[in-house]
Amino acid sequence: MREIYPIRDPSSHKRALAEIEALMTHDPAPGSDEAVWLDAMATLVSAYEERECPIEGSYAPAEYLRFMMEQDGLTPEDLVPAIGALNCVHDVLNGKRDLTPAMIRRLCRQHHLDAARLIGA
């Protein structure tokens, strides 16, 4: 398994984001060492960002997703294959449900989105 390391400064933050994005393109199998590492590092990155660069409100990933949908002319129905049922898509877009690592991987693969923005960067 890859090393899980603390995110304490901009350098380790940048390194983690690059590694997360690279790994997400490989779509690790659920439960695999890579998927576990991805989930752990995404959690550490999110905690660092909340602590060091707070964003007013907790909907930054949802705002990014809505913006990209508007830019690409997508509807909530277009996100169902990546997120799940339509009600789940609406919950994500309204900030009532967080994106899971698997959802983020699928969104990035299917719609070429920036994983870091969906994690909350």
pLDDT at 6: 95
d(CA 26, CA 47): 24
pLDDT at 56: 53
Separation of CA 37 from chain center: 14
Residue with tokens 């129905």: 77
pLDDT at 89: 95
Per-residue pLDDT of the chain (121 residues; tens, 9 = 90+): 789 999 999 899 999 989 998 888 888 898 999 999 998 999 999 888 878 765 554 447 888 899 889 888 999 999 999 999 999 999 999 988 989 999 999 999 998 888 888 886 4
d(CA 68, CA 3): 33
User: In 10 A of CB 21, how many CB atoms?
Assistant: 14
Topology (CATH) of 60-119: 434 Repressor (Amino-terminal Domain) (1.10.260)
